[in-house]
Chain A
Amino acid sequence: MANSETPLLDELEKGKWPSFVKDLKQAAGKNPMARDLIHQLELSYKDRIGHWKHGGIVGVKGYGSGVIGRYSDRPDLFPNVQAFHTMRVNHPTGWFYKTDTLRKLCDIWDKHGSGLTNMHGSTGDAILLGTTTDHLQSCYDDLSNAGFDLGGSGSALRTPSACVGPARCEWACIDSLDLCYNLTMTYQDQMHRPMFPYKFKIKISACANDCVAAIARSDLSVIGTWKDDIQVDQKEVLAYASSINIQKEVCDLCPTRCMEWNGKELKIYDEDCTRCMHCINLMPKALRPGKERGASILVGGKAPIVRGALLSWVIVPFIKLEPPYDELKNLIERIQDWWDENAKSRERLGELIQRLGMRVFLKAVDLPAVPQMVKAPRTNPYVFFWPEDLKKEVK
């Protein structure tokens, strides 16, 4: 076999799963930027250090975010990636595209950039990888004429994202798509013109299965839920008894053990149910979410960068969500104001709450502590006392 120029990357082509190296090599056949990118990456693996310089500030007119500057630190070796900026394009809510829309997007990117895309980045945006400074404005103009807009980057509201919800999924308790679109349109300014101490992410899942991983990744998570009882069809439950072990797989794995199965009938003690979706996932024909639907609001999730990862925690157990969503928007703005006013540079909301305390946070955004605000289910209610409350008690 001829000696490969990229022996380290070639390892990543082995196996039967998709490989970004294969994709890159294919792109390298028609685009010199992609070619240099592969070779720079190989060198990075060899040297065990990334060969991008730190940071870069480029942009398009009127926008403080949406474009991320990237420069090679070895332009002598890889002149075609000397500048390799990323553009973030706001994805359609729920990631529904028509094929001709995708073609249009790719055509624009073939014209202005490397042709390489990342569909989609962890924020949700369609990410266009690699272009030069002089192409930015004209690429943006073409995108804009085709009906696209840039997403958020830097210390801004990042592009909100949502699960496919009611478009495809029977478990949706809220219209995640409509809410996501509505918030995106309402907060255009916060997305395009970074003004916060750091990034702020909003993600919406229409049920507790949390398909967009909102709880792990967003500063503000909206999770669809219900208030009344799970709807049970006992006949269908019985039908499941022949294919699954209801006691072992459903009841015993219920996190709050709030179900009883006597071989004929399933009894759910709904007052102890935390709406985790486990039983419904296993017996979709027999069980459905209740009828009185809305969402829980959680805050504070983030991936580790400066400090460790945080999962978001419940601050509003139940809120009805119907357009124009004023109650939610009002809450979001109160939270952002407090964060904006108090955070240090690059401090995420969850970290600020940890630093100043949940008690201070709840008071500042005017939320009463209730038992359903739990960090670990049923163990850790957020009930705090201020010195003046204690005095009242003594009298």
Chain B
Amino acid sequence: MPQIELAGKIYEVDEDGFLQELDKWNEEFAQAYAHTEDIEGPLTEEHWKIINYLRDYFAKFGIAPMVRKVCKDNGIDMKKLYELFPTGPAKGACKLAGLSKPTGCV
């Protein structure tokens, strides 16, 4: 299992870099990891809103929400979502939020 070191702590991740031990997530993890998803500088309030939303949804339902739902519930469109997370909601946002990997279809 690959490991990464962020802000002085070691985390286990899978080959795509998704956090394996979900309870190890913390805000420093998200911040220190952000640059690998092409986000420059500190995470903004808008980023946190999405990250917290994803975490809440995941805690409640055990899966990541559909993208349309993310946009609707947060009052943003796809363009904005990609502006915030240039590598996309599934890869970028879920990874920073410490969700287990969404099972994508080919």
Contact = CB atoms under 8 A, between A and B. Distances in A.
A197 interface: yes
Given A194-B67, A195-B68, A340-B68, A58 B91 contact: yes
B57 interface: no
A57 B78 contact: no
A133 B18 CA distance: 14
A61 interface: yes
Given A194-B90, A195-B78, A61 B105 contact: no
Interface stretch (A64-72, A251-259, A260-268): A64-72
Measured as residues with beta carbon below 8 angstroms from the partner, the interface class of chain A is: 20 to 34
Interface in B63-106: 66-68, 71, 78-79, 82, 86-91, 95, 101-106
A63 interface: yes
Contact of A64 (B66, B71, B88, B95): B88
Given A54-B103, A154-B104, A64 B68 contact: no
Nearest to B81: A193
Interface string B10-22: 0000011010000
Given A340-B68, A345-B66, A198 B105 contact: yes
Interface string A192-230: 011111110000000000000000000000000000000
A172 B82 CA distance: 40
Contact of B16 (A54, A58, A64, A154): A58
Interface in A340-354: 340, 345-346
A98 to B, nearest CB: 29
B38 interface: yes
* A-B complex: 10 closest residue pairs judged by Cβ atoms: A64-B88, A55-B103, A195-B67, A57-B91, A57-B16, A68-B106, A59-B91, A193-B78, A154-B104, A61-B86
Given A57-B16, A57-B18, A61-B38, 11 more contacts: A61-B87, A68-B106, A69-B104, A83-B15, A154-B104, A155-B66, A155-B105, A194-B90, A197-B68, A340-B68, A346-B105
24 contacts: A54-B103, A55-B103, A55-B104, A56-B15, A57-B16, A57-B90, A58-B16, A58-B91, A59-B87, A59-B91, A61-B86, A61-B87, A63-B88, A64-B67, A64-B88, A64-B91, A68-B106, A69-B104, A153-B106, A154-B105, A195-B71, A195-B78, A196-B68, A346-B105
Interface of A: 54-59, 61-64, 68-69, 71, 82-83, 86, 133, 153-155, 189, 193-199, 340, 345-346
